[in-house]
């Protein structure tokens, strides 16, 4: 509860106390001089509630319980309804906002919380752990979501879902490029999405470089992300494509030396590279090196796509 005015902490406490006491909860009150109240209510079954009353007008109620049964959820709803009712009686029009957040489930078999790269909390409708392996470089998970299909998660970072065709289309130039008869180099792209989509467009030859860091990513994707990669990862060679399991720097250096040129270079390497050699000490230097080498293998009217 956000209030429009300073809270009469004592009045709020007095108003809400009976609701928790009716539940047979044991009360422990802590009263700061300047910071209001923390009241802890403990139930015999192991559940508890925290009531935090801030004097400047913020009242927070947290409930924590072990079981996730529907009966428990109904009881929680009823309790919170009573708290809301009592608060509205007490504070009337001066409640600025009432917000009830969904329960956070911890300790379950399936972890549904995968924060975004910018640190926001997102709960997915995960219903199955499809693949969960540790490589020497990273943890590789593929989780099934009803909404997004299988989702590839590398060391906790959501990478790509089977529903993310839009990502692949965007990094290929949003449908505006003609790949027919073209020479294409893909850097990274271990999920096989870009390779699969370009091969459909009758290119002359697509070369996909993917580091051995990604071997287990490929293994997982070719089994469980087939909406993304189709069958292109089943073999490392096809009519118009090849997959090189090799780091991108030596591949680019070799092609530059040989004078091998491409119509398109698509850089789908992870945003922050996993460094294997300590001499590549700075991320920016590594990114600059890749960009410089890419320009060397790009035809004069060639195009370079990246995130």
Residues near a copy of itself (CB under 8 A) are: 2, 28, 30, 32, 34-36, 38, 40, 42, 44-46, 48, 50, 52, 54, 58, 60, 62, 64, 66, 97, 99, 101-102, 104, 106-107, 111-113, 115, 118-125, 166
Q: From the CB of 20, what's the least distance to a copy of itself, in Å?
A: 15
Q: From the CB of 252, what's the least distance to a copy of itself, in Å?
A: 32
Closer to a copy of itself at the Cβ: 61 or 248?
61
142: exposed, middle or buried (Cβ count in 10 Å: 0-12, 13-18, 19+):
buried
Q: From the CB of 34, what's the least distance to a copy of itself, in Å?
A: 8
> What's the order of all strands across the beta sheet hosting 149-154?
126-134, 139-145, 149-154, 157-161
Contact between residue 144 and residue 150 where contact means Cβ atoms under 8 Å apart? yes
Contacting residues for 18 by C-beta, under 8 A, at least 6 apart: none
Cα–chain center distance at 264? 29
Closer to a copy of itself at the Cβ: 97 or 176?
97
Closer to a copy of itself at the Cβ: 7 or 185?
7
Closer to a copy of itself at the Cβ: 31 or 276?
31
Closer to a copy of itself at the Cβ: 8 or 111?
111
Q: From the CB of 296, what's the least distance to a copy of itself, in Å?
A: 35
Contact between residue 51 and residue 39 where contact means Cβ atoms under 8 Å apart? yes
Contacting residues for 74 by C-beta, under 8 A, at least 6 apart: none
**Of residues 164, 191, 263, 268, which has the active-site annotation?**
268
Closer to a copy of itself at the Cβ: 89 or 117?
117
35: exposed, middle or buried (Cβ count in 10 Å: 0-12, 13-18, 19+):
middle
Q: From the CB of 248, what's the least distance to a copy of itself, in Å?
A: 29
Q: How far apart are CA 87 and CA 297, in angstroms?
A: 68
Q: How far apart are CA 6 and CA 261, in angstroms?
A: 70
Contacting residues for 184 by C-beta, under 8 A, at least 6 apart: 198, 203, 205, 206, 207, 262, 263, 264, 265, 266
Q: From the CB of 55, what's the least distance to a copy of itself, in Å?
A: 9
Residue 305 sits at φ, ψ, to 5 deg, of -115, 140
268 annotated active-site: yes
Active-site residue list: 268
């Amino acid at each position: 509860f956000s209030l429009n005015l300073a809270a009469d902490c004592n009045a709020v406490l007095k108003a809400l106390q009976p609701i928790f006491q009716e539940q047979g909860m044991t009360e422990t009150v802590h009263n700061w001089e300047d910071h209001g109240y923390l009241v802890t209510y403990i139930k015999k079954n192991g559940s508890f509630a925290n009531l935090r009353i801030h004097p400047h007008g913020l009242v927070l109620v947290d409930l924590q319980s072990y079981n996730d049964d529907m009966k428990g959820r109904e009881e929680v709803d009823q309790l919170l309804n009573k708290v809301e009712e009592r608060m509205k009686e007490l504070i009337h029009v001066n409640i600025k906002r009432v917000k009830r957040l969904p329960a956070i489930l911890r300790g379950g078999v399936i972890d549904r919380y995968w924060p975004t790269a910018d640190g926001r909390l997102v709960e997915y409708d995960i219903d199955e752990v499809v693949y969960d392996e540790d490589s020497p470089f990273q943890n590789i998970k593929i989780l099934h979501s009803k909404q997004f299909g299988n989702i590839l998660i590398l060391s906790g970072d959501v990478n790509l879902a089977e529903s993310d065709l839009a990502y692949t289309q965007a990094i290929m130039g949003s449908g505006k490029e003609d790949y027919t008869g073209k020479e294409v180099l893909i850097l990274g792209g271990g999920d096989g999405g870009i390779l699969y989509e370009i091969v459909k467009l009758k290119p002359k030859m697509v070369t996909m470089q993917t580091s051995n860091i990604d071997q287990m990513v490929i293994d997982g994707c070719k089994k469980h992300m087939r909406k993304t990669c189709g069958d292109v990862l089943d073999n490392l060679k096809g009519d118009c494509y090849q997959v090189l399991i090799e780091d991108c720097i030596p591949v680019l250096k070799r092609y530059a030396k040989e004078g091998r040129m491409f119509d398109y270079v698509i850089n789908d390497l992870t945003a922050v590279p996993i460094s294997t050699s300590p001499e590549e000490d700075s991320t920016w230097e590594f990114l600059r090196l890749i960009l410089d080498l890419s320009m060397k293998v790009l035809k004069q009217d060639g195009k370079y796509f990246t995130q």
